[in-house]
Amino acid sequence: MRPLPKLDAINRDFWTGGEQGELRIMHCEDCDGYIHPPRPVCRHCLSDNVKAKAVSGIGTVDTFTVNHQKWHPAMEVPFIVARIALDDAPGVIITSNVVGCEVNEIEFGNKVQVTFEHQDDVYIPLFEKVKA
């Protein structure tokens, strides 16, 4: 089990969108910018006219590392921690895990697609390699 975030009015859409299969990123209705992590004010223009918007969940592995340290007895190692640059949310990079492949199968520039791990009320966005 992963530690879960505390849900609030600002981050709830990001952490629960997976119930509908959606990766939801905050979007500014005034300047069309994307904001992540979720905030009540646009980081680009300081507008408070922001709301969550579903994006495709497809992105590119910007960089990654393989963790071999077993930080908790229940933790399975090794695992991939990657930065994912989202294709249709310019400027948004999500740090997450790449799952569903061996650690030696991941490379810089790999295309990945969001998938969700459901725990309690939270749908944790993880990523899998896009099959060619």
Instruction: Report yes or no on 42 lying in a domain.
Output: yes
Instruction: Report yes or no on 5 lying in a domain.
Output: no
* 132 has a pLDDT exceeding 80: no
Instruction: Report yes or no on 6 lying in a domain.
Output: no
Sort 10 into a burial class: Cβ within 10 Å, 0-12 / 13-18 / 19+: middle
User: What are 5-64's pLDDT values in tens digits?
Assistant: 999 999 999 999 999 999 999 999 999 999 999 999 999 999 999 999 999 999 999 999
68-106 b/e with 16+ CB inside 10 Å = b?
A: eeeeeeeeeeeebebebbbeebeebbbebbbeeeeeeeb
User: What are 102-130's pLDDT values in tens digits?
Assistant: 999 999 999 999 999 999 999 999 999 99
Instruction: Report yes or no on 72 lying in a domain.
Output: yes
Instruction: Report yes or no on 4 lying in a domain.
Output: no
Task: Please give the residue range of the domain that contains residue 67.
Answer: 12-129
Question: In Å, how far are 22, 27, 36, 44, 107 from 49, measured between CA atoms?
Answer: 21, 9, 15, 12, 38
Instruction: Report yes or no on 52 lying in a domain.
Output: yes
- Residue, of 39 and 73, whose pLDDT is higher: 39
Instruction: Report yes or no on 7 lying in a domain.
Output: no
pTM: 0.93
The number of folded domains in the chain is: 1
Instruction: Report yes or no on 1 lying in a domain.
Output: no
CB 81 within 8 A of CB 63: no
